[in-house]
Amino acid sequence: MAESLITREQFLERYEKFDAPTSDAAVGSVLATADQREVGSGPLEGVAVLIKDNIEAIGLPGTAGSLALLPYPATRDAELVSRLRASGADIVGATNLSEWANIRSTRSASGWSAVGGLTGNPWKLDRSAGGSSSGSGAAVAAGLVSLAIGSETDGSIVCPASLNGVVGLKPTVGSIPVHGVVPISKSQDTPGPLSTDVRLAAVAFEVMSQTSGAVAAVDNASQLIKTLRIGVAQSWLTGHTETDAVFEETITAISKIVASVDKSDVPAAGDEEHTDEYTVLKCELKDDLATYLRDRLGEHPLNSLQAVVDFNREHADKELQHFSQEIFEAALTTEGRDSDHYRAARRRNLTWAIDRVFNPAFEKHDLLVAPAYGPAWKSDLIIGERGAGGVSTTAAAIAGYPLLCLPMGLVQGMPVGFVISGLAGDESRMLALGAELMKQLGTRPEDGFAPAFRQPTRG
């Protein structure tokens, strides 16, 4: 293990200092800690790793942030957790998340769950840590661990990576197994790493996907990226003036290390695309969550989305105290996957993402780039999310294609992220570009890019 990677002992010390309720900062990124278990030997030997609490691991709750699952802690390791342990990774705990991976309500606040409370952003404690892999991003930024695992359906790794100023890789859907991961959508869900640097993300990706090539690409990045043709997705700008200005500066930096940089006319998702995606997610949630609950709990009464909705109503004082569950209730009114409505929505979504967005763009470019989100907004449990950006995640979410987010700089003292988008299986080239770009930008931990744990202020 590299000496700079955080161990269990260091994690426990930093958890008490920065994250625990009694600490000075009380970031609240860790939902539960885990005892040490026997592990194998490999590239992550001795590395402390936190996993999002919608991923099952023996010794951890696996609640997806919901009180409904709290009495039934995980009794098995998700397949990706088994692969991490076999590589020597020390699973030290579970991270808080946006409850049910942020699929319960349109007014939810990222980073809040009934089990874990509200996660803060280490850069400024009253700002959002993003979601839904909120605790995973915040824990890495706070220096609790070098590596955490999150999951993404649409933006749930990219958002916390951007807002917390860390590296986040959303891999190609299907490249990492999802058995033992609380689902939203089989079509769009994928686990992925959040880390302090690109090379560690590449190592974690290889371990969880049981593939090779990503680490070698990072190690030879300067040579590999010289031939890349980069497309700048102008329609995916955040609309936040200062963030988009930092992005333009980043494009200047990237133009010095690749073959070409040109504007791309890829479209942004419109109302029809968002409506179709919402339909797909509701239908798949209804079916996939029921399948998961039956697999995990057997014949237990908590074996369907309806049972979860009923539980939340019965425990409304805790579960529904800040926002409701209208997405869950809307999903119940669907017929699931076995409907013409679902099939038509999914078909239109894929036609748009693949035929109108990616295929034309990648005839001219090897990778696309865009800003991720504006600086973290203030957490608000009354009004909910009010952030800027997120445009760059939708097409890749629908198509199941990979994304890499990395910090590109600061806006008013808060980190903002840069997104690299590729086709299925393009992780190695994306990681290589990301590694070399972070050197150019000076946004690595060794360059002093780290949070200040600033206390809340007005405005």
What positions carry a catalytic annotation?
52, 132, 156
Residue ranges of E strands in 142-226? 147-152, 167-170, 190-195
Q: Which of 163, 240, 236, 150 is nearest to 195 (CA)?
A: 150
Distances (CA, A) of 333 to 313, 336, 370, 385: 17, 9, 36, 25
**145 contacts 136 by C-beta, under 8 angstroms:** no
List C-alpha distances in Å: 361 to 169, 267, 272, 396.
21, 10, 21, 13
DSSP state of 387: -
Buried b (16+ CB within 10 A) or exposed e, 154-178: bbbbbbbbbbbbbbbbbbbbebbbb
Q: Which of 440, 431, 37, 67 is CA-nearest to residue 228?
A: 431
Q: How many CB atoms lie within 10 A of CB 457?
A: 9
d(Cα 171, Cα 173) in Å, to the nearest integer?
6
Cα separation of 320 and 340, whole Å?
33
- DSSP 3-state assignment of 29? coil
CA distance 52 to 95: 5
Contact indicator for 142, 27 with CB cutoff of 8 Å: yes
| Among 393, 369, 372, 370, residue whose Cα is nearest residue 162 | 372
Q: Do β-strands 117-118 and 112-113 pair in parallel, antiparallel, or remain unpaired?
A: antiparallel
Where is 408: in which H helix or E strand?
Answer: strand 403-411
Q: Tally helices (H) and strands (E) across the chain.
A: 17, 15
Question: Alpha-carbon Rg of the chain, whole angstroms?
Answer: 20
CA dist 334 → 274, 282, 283, 337, 435 (Å): 17, 7, 6, 9, 43
